[in-house]
């Protein structure tokens, strides 16, 4: 590695247990991440975080994506692992590939392919996460090196793939977005790249003062304090923030699902004080690692239809209290006021209709982009 360079995450997906009944047997997966920071040298991270047995990777490749399941001619680079074309990832572990030379511009679309030669049944506890992007599963066979991979099935999940890193200059920084489905971009248009971290990445590229990688470690349903579909924000903070390559800044938007208490468990009904205590711990842990942490206010959900009885006046009071603390306490190194960006001034318990996807909880495409535009870029100077 050059003495003046370091690895920076340019794309990521937070590992979580895959949803639905999923299984593979001698299939090739081709997934299509859009990176943020460009570079000439890349590596890939593959996660078996939730697997209950070792995962075998028979072959893997990274390339520039053309369209659909096709890659750009002559852009494919074979991935190796400790010099070997194949590898086995221990249960619960993550694996970094060996670096490869491939010149990619900022905001490029990549294709990461890997062949799963063995049978990976649903009871393996497959690591995956919905993507809001179209990914591809082949018919049986190893099609890693095919320019146009044959398609057996489509998928909107990231399976096992959890990161792409670039070797960047010494001044390059990394930003992690830690959140729930509003960070992951749930209900946004598939393949439209409307999530607020996407918009932040576009703005930072256009800003041009300093190179930044932006990685989206949002996870649908995620909470600060309690596990639900994977680990709570406090439990996954080390893996999904502190351990991200090159991270210098992070933005946390968590708390809405703590308030909504999806399973209606009395012991998981939270107060603003409990949520604030959890967020304070994230601040302490980020600062101990030399990372600046920005707090994002919680957007309103007073007319939510996604889940019945999610909103009530008591939960709204807690939301308002948490937002006031985020804005006024000075605990964070900066504030992203998503609440102010989306709320209806006439009905502040709700989002503006134009910024609401229609379920009262998740923003529309334009609402997500407004969130990304509401972040003050001078926070990164």
Report pLDDT digits (tens) over 177-213: 999 999 999 999 999 999 999 999 999 999 888 999 9
Q: What's the rounded Cα separation, in Å, for the pair 294 and 333?
A: 5
Domain boundaries, the chain: 5-164, 171-380
Q: Could you count the other beta carbons within 10 Å of the beta carbon of residue 152? A: 14
More confident site: 21 or 129 = 129
Please state, in angstroms and rounded to a whole number, the distance separating the CA atoms of residues 224 and 4: 37
List 70's β-bridge partners, or say none: 148
CA dihedral 314, 255, 194, 76 (to 10 degrees): -160
Q: What pLDDT is stored for residue 53 in this prediction?
A: 94
52-78 pLDDT tens trace: 999 999 999 999 999 999 999 999 999
Residue 170: predicted pLDDT: 95
List strand residue ranges (DSSP E) for 48-109, in order: 55-57, 59-64, 77-78, 87-89, 94-96, 100-104
> Which single residue is written with the structure tokens 């066979």?
141
375 Ramachandran zone, left/alpha/beta (phi>0; psi -120 to 50): beta
On the question of pLDDT at 3 being above 70, the answer is no
Give the mean model confidence (pLDDT) for residues 106-128: 92
Architecture of domain 171-380: 3-Layer(aba) Sandwich (3.40)
Give me the sign of the Cα torsion angle 98, 99, 101, 106. Answer: positive
- Mean predicted confidence (pLDDT) in 339-367: 98
Helix/strand/coil for 267? helix
DSSP 329: S
Evaluate whether 304 touches 357 at the Cβ level (below 8 Å): no
For residues 88-108, give the mean pLDDT. 98
The reported pLDDT for the residue numbered 20 is 78
* Burial class of 118 by CB neighbour count within 10 A (0 to 12, 13 to 18, 19+): middle
The token pair at 196 is: 């607020």
Average pLDDT score over residue span 124-139: 90
Which pLDDT tens digit goes with each residue over 320-333? 999 999 999 999 99
Identify the helix (H) or strand (E) that includes residue 249.
strand 247-253
Q: Distance (Å, rounded) from C-alpha 46 to C-alpha 127?
A: 10
- Give yes or no for a contact between 48 and 93, defined as CB atoms under 8 angstroms apart: yes
State the first-to-last Cα distance of the chain, in angstroms, to the nearest integer: 26
d(CA 369, CA 271) in angstroms, rounded, equals 30
Q: pLDDT digits over 148-177, tens only? A: 999 999 999 999 999 999 999 999 999 999
H/E run at residue 260: helix 256-260
Q: How far apart are CA 358 and CA 305, in angstroms?
A: 8
- Span 7-28, pLDDT tens digits: 999 999 999 998 876 899 999 9
Q: What is the mean pLDDT of the chain?
A: 96
d(CA 114, CA 50): 18
The pLDDT of residue 348 is: 97
């Amino acid at each position: 590695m050059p003495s003046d360079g370091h690895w920076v995450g340019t794309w990521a997906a937070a590992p979580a247990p895959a949803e639905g009944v999923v299984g593979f047997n001698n299939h090739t997966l081709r997934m299509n991440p859009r990176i943020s920071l460009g570079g000439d040298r890349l590596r890939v991270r593959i996660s078996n975080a939730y697997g209950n047995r070792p995962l075998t990777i028979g072959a893997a490749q990274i390339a520039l994506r053309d369209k659909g399941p096709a890659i750009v001619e002559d852009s494919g680079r074979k991935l190796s692992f400790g010099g070997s074309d194949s590898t086995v990832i221990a249960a619960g572990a993550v694996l970094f590939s060996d670096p490869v030379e491939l010149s990619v511009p900022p905001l490029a679309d990549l294709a990461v392919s890997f062949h799963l030669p063995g049978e990976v049944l649903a009871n393996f506890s497959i690591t995956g996460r919905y993507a809001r992007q179209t990914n591809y599963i082949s018919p049986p066979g190893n099609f890693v090196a095919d320019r146009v991979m044959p398609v057996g099935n489509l998928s909107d999940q990231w399976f096992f793939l959890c990161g792409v890193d670039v070797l960047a200059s010494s001044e390059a920084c990394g930003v992690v977005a830690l959140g729930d489905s509003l960070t992951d971009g749930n209900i946004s248009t598939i393949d439209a790249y409307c999530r607020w971290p996407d918009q932040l990445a576009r703005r930072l590229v256009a800003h041009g003062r300093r190179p930044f990688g932006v990685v989206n470690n949002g996870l649908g349903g995620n909470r600060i304090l309690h596990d639900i579909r994977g680990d709570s924000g406090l439990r996954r903070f080390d893996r999904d923030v502190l351990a991200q390559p090159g991270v210098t800044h992070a933005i946390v938007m968590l708390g809405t699902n703590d308030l909504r208490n999806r399973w209606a468990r009395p012991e998981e009904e939270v107060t603003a004080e409990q949520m604030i205590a959890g967020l304070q711990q994230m601040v302490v842990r980020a600062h101990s690692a030399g990372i600046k942490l920005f707090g994002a206010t919680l957007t309103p959900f007073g007319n939510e239809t996604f889940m019945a009885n999610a909103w009530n006046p008591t939960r709204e009071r807690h939301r308002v209290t948490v937002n006031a603390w985020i804005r006024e306490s000075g605990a964070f190194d900066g504030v992203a006021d998503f609440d102010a960006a989306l709320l209806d001034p006439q009905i502040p318990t709700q989002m503006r209709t134009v910024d609401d996807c229609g379920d009262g909880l998740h923003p529309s495409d334009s609402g997500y982009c407004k969130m990304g535009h509401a972040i003050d870029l001078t926070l990164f100077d």
